[in-house]
């Protein structure tokens, strides 16, 4: 059989099948109100009952937008790139071109056009190919809506099955739509949903993709080309197949001329010209395309799906507006600060993570990695949120807070001679053992200081200098780790990640190393725990999202309730007197020569902070905070153990300073409330706290009970750089936590 004969045979088969369908459609058209199983009900309203909501909405949903706190676009989320437009935002010539080539009797029929179907059959058979479509624009709208909103492969297949049943369903739904909506609304909805190729769904996306213009500005040549794409967007693509595109465009122009909608001069002039494409850039899609804060974006999406219960499909299909808490300026400063110290893709990862005290709003998440790509300097894990390594001596603040609450005031003095202390309560590795990880080395837990410290310190001097021996001895006074662990939970740590011991496991195991920060720690949670101090004891759950709006700009609801209900905070999660007293003490870590975090100081701003160094310097950290802002910095190798080569007062404090100094340059910050004099001296809150005479009390040595009086101890680390922050002789072989 010759090729022409085979083509004619296939065309006749299609003709026969289409005649059957047309007959069925005609029957459905003449008798649309027949009852019975599988047929339509007796009124058009019931025809819409089974439709997805998109078919009864005025326009299809567009791309979901993720916005920063200042309203700027971070990125979009979409399955199909679409920007819906209103009827008056589409060029009239575009509407005319589409109607002429796809459904010239559109304004005359009521959703079905049997006359047009028969005419298309005759034309197509005579040409030996498909020259005209048989479905009306309304029927095509039904089909495209059912196809693009299908959530299962079965629904997708049902939307395109070539059978009489599908055609009947489309026809009856088309009748119902025509009774419900005006013609211009149906045409606009079709133009907003139809696929034009190259990932562009809807006329606005197509106008941007092919010509870099808005739909309202489309010219006759552009409109004719786009109208011709609807039937075969791949074959007639002007970017990849310009010759086919010219042929198809000219067919549209000829049809418009035949119907009297353009002049012969317009037909001849445009038909002789090539298609002039000005290809536009696709809008960003997903956190990998984020304009700023890719890791923050990923964290926000995780929050939307896991915490707020919005499915990934809804995020991509419902055209939501996500208002986030990201501060682009702080994010940019944080990004640069990390890169000032650690190159992009360095084996050491540096995480700068900022949060707002009193609200829990996550402000920035910086890492010397690019999000989501496949290059060596890329990362898909949000290291700012994951508990990977220990945070060292930053945990001493939890023991200090628990001790203050237990009646052990900041003036509590402890003597630990020789920079070494063996616990009377906790078991663990012994000092001086050749291998601290062996069972034979285990007895009563012993720690040493990373440097030369005074034998006798009070809590103020020990916290500022970061004395290991003092805080293990302070844990001894508390009798177990439950108080510090529960205090850390009240301040913001959760212990709910697979890499962590649970709080109860730490308590049951009575891990004396807790105060030295051996537990795997989320940088975000660490920043949030110190934000609780900055907020005078109010703990807030971290949140990257303040609002989720639906396509109409109204708060998105689930089961009748908004999915975002505001900040989740617990006032006085720890007593304000304790929070304020610790804040005043920790000013000394940044502002005094004996402090370990002096590199973080920003002139003109009162900053409190704490350094931390894990055992073997495998991880180092610094947390700095004010009443308005709190931020942590952690530096470690996320893939293996590695000596970072410094302490928390080195790389982390430097990164913190480099991020916050330019950010704070034009922003006023508040001083901390005064310390509670009862906690400073006697161990119990004073009935009426008085202002501290010195907002940054100097750390003490010896047995002094007034933390503001003595000068720095001569045995303090030598000037010329921040002293070490104590290190972390951790307790090994104790479950999932790191050594």
pLDDT in tens, 385-394: 999 999 999 9
Q: Are residues 120 and 205 in the same domain?
A: yes
Return all residues near 678 (Cβ < 8 A) that are at least 6 apart: 409, 577, 684, 685, 686, 687, 689
Boundary residue ending a domain (665, 681, 697): 681
Classify residue 492 as exposed, middle or buried by CB count within 10 Å of its CB (0-12, 13-18, 19+): buried
pLDDT category at 14 given cuts 50, 70, 90 is very low
Assess if residue 392 is contained within a domain.
yes
Q: Are residues 257 and 347 in the same domain?
A: no
Q: Are residues 167 and 260 in the same domain?
A: yes
Q: pLDDT tens across 96-124, in order?
A: 999 999 999 999 998 887 766 666 556 65
What does the pLDDT read at residue 738? 28
Assess if residue 11 is contained within a domain.
yes
From CA 115, how far away is CA 113, in angstroms rounded?
A: 5
Q: pLDDT tens across 31-40, in order?
A: 443 333 333 3
Nearest to 467 by CA among 737, 713, 719, 731: 713
Assess if residue 442 is contained within a domain.
no
From CA 221, how far away is CA 206, in angstroms rounded?
A: 14
From CA 683, how far away is CA 474, in angstroms rounded?
A: 14
Nearest to 235 by CA among 227, 226, 245: 245
From CA 349, how far away is CA 407, in angstroms rounded?
A: 40
Number of domains in the chain: 2
Assess if residue 352 is contained within a domain.
yes
Assess if residue 53 is contained within a domain.
yes
Mean pLDDT (whole number) for 611-636 = 97
User: In the block, which residue shows the tokens 């649309």?
Assistant: 32
Mean pLDDT (whole number) for 286-310 = 97
Boundary residue ending a domain (255, 271, 287): 271
pLDDT category at 160 given cuts 50, 70, 90 is confident
CATH number at residue 17: 1.10.3810.10
Q: Are residues 481 and 615 in the same domain?
A: yes
- Extract the tokens encoding 638: 């996320």
Using DSSP's 3-state secondary structure scheme, residue 363 falls into: strand
Radius of gyration of the chain (CA): 35
Average pLDDT, the chain: 85
The answer to whether the beta carbons of residues 606 and 671 sit under 8 Å apart is yes
Q: Are residues 395 and 524 in the same domain?
A: yes
Q: Are residues 249 and 343 in the same domain?
A: no
The answer to whether the beta carbons of residues 615 and 428 sit under 8 Å apart is no
Single pTM value for the model: 0.84
Q: What are phi and psi of 584, to 5 degrees?
A: -65, -40
From CA 181, how far away is CA 510, in angstroms rounded?
A: 70
Nearest to 176 by CA among 147, 135, 138: 138
From CA 133, how far away is CA 249, in angstroms rounded?
A: 16
Q: Are residues 468 and 601 in the same domain?
A: yes
Does 507 have pLDDT greater than 70? Answer: yes
Separation in Å, CA 668 to CA 260, 397, 629 = 69, 27, 11
What does the pLDDT read at residue 341? 97
| Backbone CA torsion sign across 265, 267, 268, 272 | positive
Residue scoring higher pLDDT (501 or 431): 501
The answer to whether the beta carbons of residues 360 and 543 sit under 8 Å apart is yes
The β-bridge partners of 611 are 622
What does the pLDDT read at residue 96? 98
Q: What is the DSSP letter of 551?
A: T
- Extract the tokens encoding 344: 């992009």
Assess if residue 382 is contained within a domain.
yes
User: In the block, which residue shows the tokens 């900053």?
Assistant: 607
User: How far out from the chain centre does Cα 529 lie?
Assistant: 21
Q: Are residues 260 and 360 in the same domain?
A: no
SS3 content of the chain, % helix, strand, coil (to 5): 40, 15, 45
- Extract the tokens encoding 582: 């610790």
What does the pLDDT read at residue 39? 37
- Extract the tokens encoding 137: 């624009």
Mean pLDDT (whole number) for 464-487 = 97
Does 551 have pLDDT greater than 70? Answer: yes
Assess if residue 263 is contained within a domain.
yes
SS3 per residue for 680-734: HHCCCCCCCCCCCCCCCCCCCCCCCCCCCCCCCCCCCCCCCCCCCCCCCCCCCCC
H or E element: which one contains 445? strand 442-448
Q: pLDDT tens across 682-736, in order?
A: 666 655 433 333 333 333 333 223 333 333 333 333 333 345 676 654 433 232 2
- Extract the tokens encoding 542: 């971290």
From CA 347, how far away is CA 324, in angstroms rounded?
A: 30
CATH number at residue 345: 3.40.710.10
Q: Are residues 242 and 386 in the same domain?
A: no
Assess if residue 283 is contained within a domain.
no
Least confident of 92-96, 327-331, 370-374: 370-374
Q: pLDDT tens across 356-408, in order?
A: 999 999 999 999 999 998 888 999 999 999 999 999 999 999 999 999 999 99
User: How far out from the chain centre does Cα 277 lie?
Assistant: 35
Which pairing describes strands 520-521 and 569-570: parallel, antiparallel, or unpaired? unpaired
Boundary residue ending a domain (244, 271, 298): 271
Tell me which residue range forms the domain holding 524.
339-416+454-540+569-681
Q: Are residues 189 and 54 in the same domain?
A: yes
**Span between the terminal Cα atoms of the chain, in Å:** 79
Least confident of 48-57, 283-292, 569-578: 48-57
- Give one DSSP letter per residue of 613-670, joined into a string: E-GGGSEEEEEEE-SS-EEEEEEE-SSS----SS-TTTHHHHHHHHHHHHHHTT---P
What does the pLDDT read at residue 295? 98
């Amino acid at each position: 059989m010759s090729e022409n004969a085979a083509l004619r045979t296939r065309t006749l088969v299609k003709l026969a099948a289409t005649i059957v369908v047309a007959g069925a459609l005609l029957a459905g058209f003449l008798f649309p109100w027949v009852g019975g199983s599988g047929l339509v009900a007796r009124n058009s309203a019931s025809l819409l009952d089974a439709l997805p909501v998109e078919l009864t909405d005025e326009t299809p949903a567009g791309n979901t937008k993720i916005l920063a706190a200042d309203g700027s676009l971070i990125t979009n989320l979409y399955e199909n790139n679409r920007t819906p437009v209103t009827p008056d935002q589409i060029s009239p010539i575009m509407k005319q071109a589409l109607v002429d080539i796809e459904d010239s009797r559109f304004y005359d029929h009521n959703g079905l056009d049997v006359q047009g179907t028969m005419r298309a059959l005759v034309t197509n058979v005579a040409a030996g190919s498909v020259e005209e479509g048989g479905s009306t624009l309304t029927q095509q709208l039904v089909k495209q809506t059912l196809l693009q909103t299908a959530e299962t492969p079965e629904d997708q297949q049902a939307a395109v099955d070539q059978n009489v049943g599908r055609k009947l369903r489309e026809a009856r739904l088309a009748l119902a739509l025509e009774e419900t909506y005006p013609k211009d609304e149906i045409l606009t909805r079709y133009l907003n949903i139809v696929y034009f190729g190259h990932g562009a769904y809807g006329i606005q996306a197509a106008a941007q993709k092919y010509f870099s213009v808005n739909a309202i500005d489309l010219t006759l040549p552009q409109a004719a080309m786009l109208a011709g794409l609807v039937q075969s967007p791949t074959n007639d693509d002007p970017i990849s197949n310009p010759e086919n595109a010219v042929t198809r465009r000219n067919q549209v122009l000829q049809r418009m001329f035949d119907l009297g909608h353009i002049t012969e001069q317009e037909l001849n002039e445009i038909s002789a010209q090539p298609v002039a494409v000005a290809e536009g850039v696709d809008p960003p899609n997903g956190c990998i395309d984020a304009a700023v804060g890719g890791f923050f974006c990923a964290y926000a999406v995780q929050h939307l799906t896991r915490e707020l219960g919005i499915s990934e499909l809804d995020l991509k299909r419902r055209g939501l507006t996500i208002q986030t808490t990201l501060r682009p300026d702080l994010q940019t400063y944080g990004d640069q600060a990390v890169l000032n110290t650690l190159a992009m893709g360095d084996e050491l990862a540096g995480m700068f993570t900022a949060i707002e005290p009193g609200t829990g709003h996550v402000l920035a998440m910086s890492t010397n990695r690019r999000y989501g790509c496949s290059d060596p300097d890329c990362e898909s894990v949000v290291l700012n949120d994951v508990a990977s390594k220990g945070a060292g001596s930053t945990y001493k603040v939890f023991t200090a807070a628990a001790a203050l609450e237990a009646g052990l005031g900041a003036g509590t003095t402890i003597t630990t001679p020789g920079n070494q202390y063996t616990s009377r309560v906790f078991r663990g590795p012994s000092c001086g053992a050749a291998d601290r990880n062996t069972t034979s080395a285990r007895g009563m837990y012993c720690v040493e200081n990373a440097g030369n410290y005074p034998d006798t310190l009070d809590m103020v001097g020990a916290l500022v200098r970061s004395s290991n021996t003092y805080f293990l001895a302070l844990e001894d006074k508390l009798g177990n780790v439950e108080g510090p662990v529960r205090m850390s939970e009240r301040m913001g740590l959760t212990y709910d990640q697979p890499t962590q011991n649970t709080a109860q496991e730490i308590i049951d195991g009575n891990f004396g190393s807790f105060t030295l920060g051996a537990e795997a720690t989320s940088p975000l949670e660490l920043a949030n725990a110190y934000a609780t101090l900055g907020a005078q004891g109010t703990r807030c759950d971290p949140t990257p999202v303040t609002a989720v709006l639906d396509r109409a700009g109204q708060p998105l609801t689930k089961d009748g309730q908004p999915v975002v209900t505001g900040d989740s905070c617990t006032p006085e999660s720890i007593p304000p007197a304790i929070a304020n007293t610790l804040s005043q003490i920790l000013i000394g870590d940044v502002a005094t020569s004996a402090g370990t975090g002096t590199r973080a100081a920003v002139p003109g701003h009162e900053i409190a902070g704490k350094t931390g160094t894990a055992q073997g310097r495998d991880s180092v950290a610094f947390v700095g905070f004010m009443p308005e802002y709190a931020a942590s910095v952690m530096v470690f190798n996320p893939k293996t153990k590695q000596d970072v080569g410094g302490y928390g007062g080195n790389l982390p404090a430097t990164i913190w300073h480099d991020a916050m100094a330019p950010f704070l340059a034009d922003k006023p910050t508040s001083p901390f409330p005064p310390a509670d004099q009862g906690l400073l001296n006697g161990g119990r809150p004073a009935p009426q706290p008085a202002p501290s005479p010195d907002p940054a009390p100097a750390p003490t040595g010896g047995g002094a009970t007034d933390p503001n009086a003595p000068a720095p101890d001569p045995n303090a680390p030598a000037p010329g750089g921040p002293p070490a922050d104590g290190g972390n002789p951790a307790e090994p072989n104790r479950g999932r936590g790191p050594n």
